[in-house]
Amino acid sequence: MSGTVLFRRGRVIDPRNGVDGVRDVLVKDGKVAEVSVAPLPVPPGAEVVEAEGHWVLPGFIDLHVHLREPGEEGKETVLTGCRAAVAGGFTAVVAMPNTKVVNDSGLVTELVLSRARAANLCHVYPAGAITKGLKGEELAETGELVSAGCVAITDDGRPVMSAALMRRALQYATLFGVPVMVHEEDLTLSAGGAMHEGPTATRLGLRGIPASAEVAMVARDLVLLEETGGRLHIAHVSCEGSVRLIREAKRRGLNVTAEATPHHVILDDRAVGDYDTHAKMAPPLRADRDVEALREALADGTVDAIATDHAPHGVLDKQVEFEKGINGIIGLETALGLTLELVHGGVLTEKRAVELLSHGPAKAFGLPGGHLAPGAPGDVTVVNPNEEWTVEVHRFYSRSRNTPFHGRRQKGRVVQTWVSGRKVYADGQVKESR
């Protein structure tokens, strides 16, 4: 059970509540009890965290994580994924349903939740499938999924190609108020493609995936959203055209949110280099002007959240011909460092960076947390903004190693993670209590 914790003299950045300054934060019974400008007395039996020189932040929330359980436990499990999450400063993750028994029923949702309870590290919010078996043919039972604990529905990894079915999914989901999260890819335009269509693909002789494969679907779904109502969340936005459409839709008051991954904002298609499968993902890394547009969209609020699309894969999935390489990279343990690169580069303010990792995602999916006002969950991430470190994949808690960022220098590091007032990560160690 969690006790009482006092975070002393840290810089609290809490964008939702307009706080940015040195504060004491008292967490009691798993919730934030007090946030104070003046030093607070240490309650009897309280653990004290001397946070001077550190940032005390609302725990990070990742809307897009693949935990691979059930079915691909060799790549990741709910437990190892939760370890990676807390090591990366995340106190909550949304688990994608494209596991090797698809989460399209309450039974699978309950299994994931029971594994999460057993892991007892961070909050795990399952997302259920939009369609049965992710086949894009019939709606899965959204009601059952939501009552079992799903916070969103998505066929992530695949688009819903049928416009008629997508229209019904949006309509039907209004019954439950959950967001419909979409992976935007017109498969007829992306067919055979291995990377972004552009000079690098041409140089490498790889079939390109044009930006229109994403933008056309974003346009379609915004049109459907306008007609049906409901909530649309666009996963891993990757290109300028999508950003423009989302910005305009928001201006007109449509209920749309969007996320971007750190890798799409840090790297462009040139990262493929000479066929590096660690730079292979869907959507693909795009052109530099797309990266520029995404950065603007993160800064101006068009994109609501940074989400990692943490996608664990084995070595053999990546040590193959580029065209055969499986899409995706892991992201939980590199997210903060990469986001801070944007701060150091003048793209984001510190406050906006924190918002994109906490309040932004909480608000998009209506999740608890994401801020530190009294009564909020005692989910806290402590960051040393000045610590310089090097990304080393063999130190990751994730069961997989697929990242293009091995060896990258970072400034700013998660030093402690607290979930519901309990210390789950500190001094480079995950603290298990199962």
Partner 1 sequence: MRHLLGIEGWRRDELEALLDRARVHLPGGPDVTHTLRGKVVANLFFEDSTRTRTSFHMAARGLGAGVLNWSSSGSSTSKGETLLDTARNIEATGPVAIVMRHKSSGAPHLVAKHVRCAVINAGDGTHEHPSQALLDAFTLRQRWGSLEGRTVLIVGDILHSRVARSNLWCLKALGARVVFCGPPTLLPTGLESLGAEVTSNLDAVLPQADAVMCLRLQLERMGEAFLPSTKEYSRLFGLNAAREERMKPGALVMHPGPINRGLELAPSVADGPRSVILEQVSNGVAVRRAILEVCTS
Which residues would be at the binding site for Zn ion (CB under 5 A)? 156, 309
CB 311 within 8 Å of CB 278: no
Residue 274 in contact with partner 1, rule: CB under 8 A: yes
The DSSP output letter for 150 is: -
CB of 197 to partner 1, least distance (A): 6
Cβ density class 50-67: b for 16+ within 10 Å, e for less: ebeebbbbbbbbbbbbbb
Q: What is the three-state SS of 347-377? A: CCCHHHHHHHHCHHHHHHHCCCCCCCCCCCE
Amino acid symbol at 139: L
Alpha-carbon torsion (203, 185, 294, 75), positive or negative: negative
Minimum CB distance to partner 1 smaller for 200 or for 410: 200
Q: From the list 5, 63, 153, 201, which residue makes contact with partner 1 (rule: CB under 8 A)?
A: 201
Q: Which residues contact 199 (CB under 8 A, 6 or more apart)?
A: none
47 binds partner 1 (CB under 8 A): no
Can you tell me which of 36, 114, 202, 386 binds partner 1, judged by CB under 8 A? 202
Task: Spell out, one character per residue from 109 to 148, where the chain touches partner 1: x when CB under 8 A holds, - when not.
Answer: ----------------------------------------
- Complex with partner 1: residue 97 or 198, whichever CB lies closer: 198
Q: 130 or 209: whose CB is closer to partner 1? A: 209
Nearer to partner 1, 205 or 253 (CB): 205
Residue 25 corresponds to which amino acid?
V
Active site residue 276: no
- Which residue lies nearer to partner 1 by CB, 130 or 201? 201
Beta strands in 136-291 (DSSP E): 152-154, 180-182, 195-196, 208-209, 232-234, 256-260
**Of the residues 42, 101, 139, 204, which one makes contact with partner 1 according to CB under 8 A:** 204
Among 207, 289, 344, 395, which residue sits at the site for partner 1 (rule: CB under 8 A)?
207
Binding of partner 1 at residue 324 (CB under 8 A)?
A: yes
204 contact choice in Zn ion, partner 1, none (CB below 5 to 8 Å, kind-dependent): partner 1
Applying CB under 8 A, which of residues 316, 346, 375, 433 lies at the interface with partner 1? 316
DSSP-based three-state secondary structure for 27? strand
Structure tokens at 115: 């594994």
Q: How many other C-beta atoms lie within 10 A of the C-beta of residue 143?
A: 13
Enclosing H/E stretch for 403? none
User: Contact between 317 and partner 1 (CB under 8 A)?
Assistant: no
How many CB atoms lie under 10 A from the CB of residue 232? 26
Element (H, E) at 344: helix 335-344
- Which residue in the set 110, 296, 323, 350 belongs to the binding site for partner 1 (CB under 8 A)? 323
Provide the mask over 144-183, with x wherever binding to partner 1 is found by CB under 8 A and - wherever it is not.
----------------------------------------
CA dihedral 166, 172, 175, 177 (to 10 degrees): -10
The residues annotated as belonging to the active site are 309
Give the residues lining the site for partner 1 (CB under 8 A).
Answer: 197-208, 274-275, 316, 319-324
